[in-house]
Amino acid sequence: MPLLVMKFGGTSVANLERIQNAAAKVKREVERGYDVIVIVSAMSGKTNELVGWVEQTSPLYDAREYDAVTSSGENVTAGLMALRLQEMDVPARSWQGWQVPILTTSAHGAARFIDIPRAHIDQKFAEGMKVAVVAGFQGVSPEGRITTLGRGGSDTTAVAFAAAFGAERCDIYTDVDGVYTTDPRIAKKARKLDKIAFEEMLELASLGAKVLQTRSVELAMRYKVRLRVVSSFEEIDENSGTLVCAEEDIMESKAVSGVAYSRDEAKMTLLAVADRPGIAAAIFGPLAEAGVNVDMIVQNISEEGHTDMTFSCPTDQVLRAQTALDAAKAKGSIAFQGLVADTDVAKISVVGIGMRSHAGVAATMFKALAAEGINIKVITTSEIKISVLIDRKYMELAVQALHDAFELDKAA
């Protein structure tokens, strides 16, 4: 039997009616002759609520228990989806991660797949089951504890199942009808892309475009999964949505193909750090050990043996970062006068494989921001992206200004 993976995100399973709508789409594919693996997210808002409960109970929580709590939202939707399909006379069964079992590393809160043994699910398909409903976002560690894959992780569950079961395609059903030049909720002029290259999608995702989890794009690229983003709320056909594909299959040749933003970014500055060889290692070593994901780094010119060191990290890791740096200071391994956390910042990035061959992208970007009176606090670049940190209050304005400056509303 040909097999499809269909993943439904939080808004697509937000209530019983939406689950019914999603189940009807699954049933249609079964009627077309497919076996289907359905991956479900928790109902929208549920995971945020669970994370909130964990943080209120224990600010520097034990990550194993974070996973025990936050994985539960998907268990509910998986069972409900299987029940709804059964009510529609579609033979369906649900699986939680540990039942498959979806084997992952024990990096709680950011686990990676080790293996997805097919035996259980294959056997059920052989016995006549048409749909396997699998709870997204979760797995089980070698120690036998429940793990989660990081926020948005159900996308990655979907791609991993598509790879493991050799699915014809992996369709990500969500609340937008594809991948746009930027978040259509922020820029009205955002344009839907028929296709996007893996490399660009990877950058957009890692720079904040929530539409796909970064790791899901990595896996799709590595295992050559046909990955498509489509709407849960429209009738779809072969040509709907956005296909994530190899660079060679793309016709567009613009320097910039998308703008991403992340409001989940904090800027931390260590003031008057005693400057000496090895100081960066002494600062960033303890941060890495504490599990802080440092993104941008800027070191000022040293004056009289002192310098300011600025870095950015996710907002929810500020407390961890402060604790680690204060501990290093108390131990005497680093010396600094103060630590300032600025959580009112946002990161805006422009992305495009065309940057490899077009000059002047940075200049256009900085000019567009200057024209709006937006001050840039930190800049980083790579081969196919430029990111800046700005005051969060200008985030939407910056996204729109850059979308206009690079004329992303027009096809190349």
What's the distance, CA 351 to chain centroid?
Answer: 16
| Per rule CB under 5 A, count of chain residues that contact Mg ion | 2
Binding mask 186-215 for ligand ADP (x = CB under 6 A): ------------------x----xxx----
- Give CA–CA dist 275/409, Å, rounded: 47
Q: Should residue 152 be labelled a site residue for Mg ion when binding is judged by CB under 5 A? A: yes
Q: Contact, 74 vs 40, CB < 8 A?
A: yes
Q: Should residue 73 be labelled a site residue for ligand ASP when binding is judged by CB under 6 A? A: yes
In the complex, minimum distance from the CB of residue 93 to Mg ion, in angstroms, rounded to a whole number: 24
In the complex, minimum distance from the CB of residue 160 to ligand ASP, in angstroms, rounded to a whole number: 13
| Per rule CB under 6 A, count of chain residues that contact ligand ADP | 20
Pick the closer one to ligand ASP by CB: 41 or 182. 41
Stretch that binds ligand ASP, among 149-157, 192-200, 242-250, 307-315 (CB under 6 A): 149-157
Per-residue CA distances from 339 to 157, 170, 284, 336 (Å): 39, 46, 14, 8
In the complex, minimum distance from the CB of residue 300 to ligand ADP, in angstroms, rounded to a whole number: 33
Longest dimension (CA), the chain: 77
- Residue 293, token pair as written in the block: 């994901």
Stretch that binds ligand ASP, among 86-94, 152-160, 216-224, 304-312 (CB under 6 A): 152-160
Q: Cα dihedral angle (27, 31, 34, 35), rounded to 10 degrees? A: 50
Q: Should residue 206 be labelled a site residue for ligand ASP when binding is judged by CB under 6 A? A: no
Stretch that binds ligand ASP, among 11-19, 146-154, 301-309, 310-318 (CB under 6 A): 146-154
Stretch that binds ligand ADP, among 177-185, 265-273, 276-284, 367-375 (CB under 6 A): 177-185
| Per rule CB under 6 A, count of chain residues that contact ligand ASP | 13
Strand-pairing partners, residue 131, are 36, 92
What is the chain's length?
412
- Give CA–CA dist 255/244, Å, rounded: 18
169-174 and 3-8 beta bridge pairing: parallel
Among Mg ion, ligand ADP, ligand ASP, none, the one that 139 touches (CB under a kind-dependent 5 to 8 A) is none
- Give CA–CA dist 67/143, Å, rounded: 14
Q: Should residue 176 be labelled a site residue for ligand ADP when binding is judged by CB under 6 A? A: yes
Contacts of 137 (CB under 8 A, 6+ apart): 41, 42, 47, 70, 71, 74, 148, 149, 153, 154, 157
- Give CA–CA dist 407/402, Å, rounded: 8
Pick the closer one to ligand ASP by CB: 41 or 312. 41
Pick the closer one to ligand ASP by CB: 109 or 291. 109
What end-to-end distance do the CA atoms of the chain give, in Å? 40
Peptide bond into 101 cis (omega under 30): yes
Residue of the chain from 8, 66, 98, 137 that contacts ligand ASP (CB under 6 A): 137
- Give CA–CA dist 139/148, Å, rounded: 6
Pick the closer one to ligand ADP by CB: 106 or 174. 174
- Select the residue whose beta carbon is closest to ligand ADP and give its number: 9
In the complex, minimum distance from the CB of residue 39 to ligand ADP, in angstroms, rounded to a whole number: 11
Residue 305 is given by DSSP the state T
In the complex, minimum distance from the CB of residue 137 to ligand ADP, in angstroms, rounded to a whole number: 10
Q: Should residue 334 be labelled a site residue for ligand ADP when binding is judged by CB under 6 A? A: no
Q: Would you tell me how many other CB atoms lie within 10 Å of the CB of residue 356?
A: 9
- Residue 394, token pair as written in the block: 């200008």
Residues in 40-79 at the binding interface with ligand ADP, rule: CB under 6 A: 41
Stretch that binds ligand ASP, among 112-120, 145-153, 191-199, 222-230 (CB under 6 A): 145-153
Q: Should residue 42 be labelled a site residue for ligand ASP when binding is judged by CB under 6 A? A: yes
Contacts of 277 (CB under 8 A, 6+ apart): none
Q: Should residue 73 be labelled a site residue for Mg ion when binding is judged by CB under 5 A? A: no
Q: Contact, 130 vs 90, CB < 8 A?
A: yes
Residues that bind ligand ASP (CB under 6 A): 9-10, 41-42, 47, 73, 136-137, 151-155
Residues that bind Mg ion (CB under 5 A): 9, 152
Residues that bind ligand ADP (CB under 6 A): 9-12, 41, 152, 174-176, 179-180, 182-185, 204, 209-211, 258
